[in-house]
């Protein structure tokens, strides 16, 4: 690319970035975590921003978000959704930058994370030990957490935070962790099962009512066809 190229406009334009809040569920510590990357280059070397960066002129913001997830954390084909666009004048002291924020959901925090270009480290942080974030990134995080808490109750996005195959106790703990309240075990189980959205992967031969919970997976196809006929998910 020719670095001497310059681009001129009649009116000043803000720069546009995309930032990704990536959530993962740590089932050992029973904590919701977010992924931060440690910058290896200036400016702001050593800080821990969300994956993100300037949008290219020939990519959509969705494409930019997916590119950044891959480049900076090695993550591909995960749940991704636009969150909100942040545009405070002074949100970045260098210059006027508008950020289109996204949030993404990762199936467990166990994956080996690739360390990407210009990144020194990639690490999961639980919500109560987030380092001091640059710019308005704490505000972005707050909005993302609220969105997740709200959406998990009426959209089946919780499954995106668990492996393909999971148990009902897993799902139950996930909901208790994110919503930060106790949920009656039996009632939760009944409600989920009554939707008929889980595929049972248990070994049907052995009749073992206990020790080793039943394995399920989420039936996405069935969910989508139900949705078309007016059904809607709710916990």
Partner DNA sequence: CCAAAAGTGTTACCGTTACACCCATGG
Partner DNA sequence: CCATGGGTGTAACGGTAACACTTTTGG
List of residues contacting a second copy (CB under 8 A): 3, 5-16, 54-55, 57-62, 82, 84-85, 87-89, 96, 98, 100
Q: Toward DNA, which CB reaches closer, 94 or 211?
A: 211
* Cβ at position 14, least distance to a second copy in Å: 6
Residues 221 and 86: their CA atoms lie apart, in Å, by 35
* Cβ at position 111, least distance to DNA in Å: 22
DSSP letter at 129 equals: G
209 scored as a contact of DNA (CB under 7 A):
yes
Which of a second copy, DNA, none is residue 184 near (CB under 5 to 8 Å by kind)?
DNA
Residues 35 and 23: their CA atoms lie apart, in Å, by 7
Residues 215 and 169: their CA atoms lie apart, in Å, by 10
Residue owning tokens 């803000």: 14
Binding mask 148-177 for DNA (x = CB under 7 A): -------------------xxx--------
CA 50 to chain centre: 11
Which of DNA, a second copy, none is residue 201 near (CB under 5 to 8 Å by kind)?
none
State which of residues 59, 212, 220, 225 lies at the interface with DNA (CB under 7 A).
Answer: 212
Q: How many residues does the chain have?
A: 235
Q: Toward a second copy, which CB reaches closer, 115 or 183?
A: 183
State which of residues 8, 42, 205, 210 lies at the interface with DNA (CB under 7 A).
Answer: 210
Residues 90 and 136: their CA atoms lie apart, in Å, by 9
Identify the burial level of 24 via C-beta atoms within 10 angstroms of its C-beta, where 0-12 means exposed, 13-18 middle and 19 or more buried: buried
Residues 217 and 58: their CA atoms lie apart, in Å, by 38
Q: Toward DNA, which CB reaches closer, 101 or 178?
A: 178
Residues engaged in binding DNA (CB under 7 A): 167-169, 184-187, 189-191, 194, 207-214, 234
């Amino acid at each position: 690319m020719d670095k001497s190229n310059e681009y001129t406009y009649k009116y000043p334009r803000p720069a546009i970035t995309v930032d990704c809040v990536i959530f993962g569920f740590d089932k050992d510590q029973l904590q919701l975590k977010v992924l931060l990357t440690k910058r290896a280059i200036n400016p702001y070397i050593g800080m821990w921003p969300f994956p993100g960066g300037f949008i290219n002129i020939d990519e959509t913001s969705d494409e930019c978000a997916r590119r950044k997830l891959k480049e900076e954390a090695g993550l591909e084909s995960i749940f991704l959704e636009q969150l909100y666009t942040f545009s405070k004048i002074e949100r970045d002291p260098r210059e006027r930058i508008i950020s289109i924020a996204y949030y993404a959901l990762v199936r467990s925090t166990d994956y080996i994370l690739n360390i990407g270009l210009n990144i020194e480290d990639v690490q999961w942080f639980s919500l109560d030990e987030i380092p001091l974030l640059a710019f308005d990134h704490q505000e972005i995080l707050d909005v993302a957490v609220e969105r997740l808490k709200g959406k998990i109750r009426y959209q089946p996005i919780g499954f995106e935070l668990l492996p393909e195959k999971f148990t009902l106790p897993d799902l139950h703990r996930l909901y208790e962790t994110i919503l930060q309240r106790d949920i009656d075990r039996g009632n939760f189980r009944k409600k989920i099962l009554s939707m008929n959205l889980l595929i049972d992967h248990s070994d049907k031969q052995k009749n073992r009512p206990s020790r080793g919970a039943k394995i399920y997976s989420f039936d996405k196809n069935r969910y989508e066809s139900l949705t078309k006929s007016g059904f809607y998910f709710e916990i």
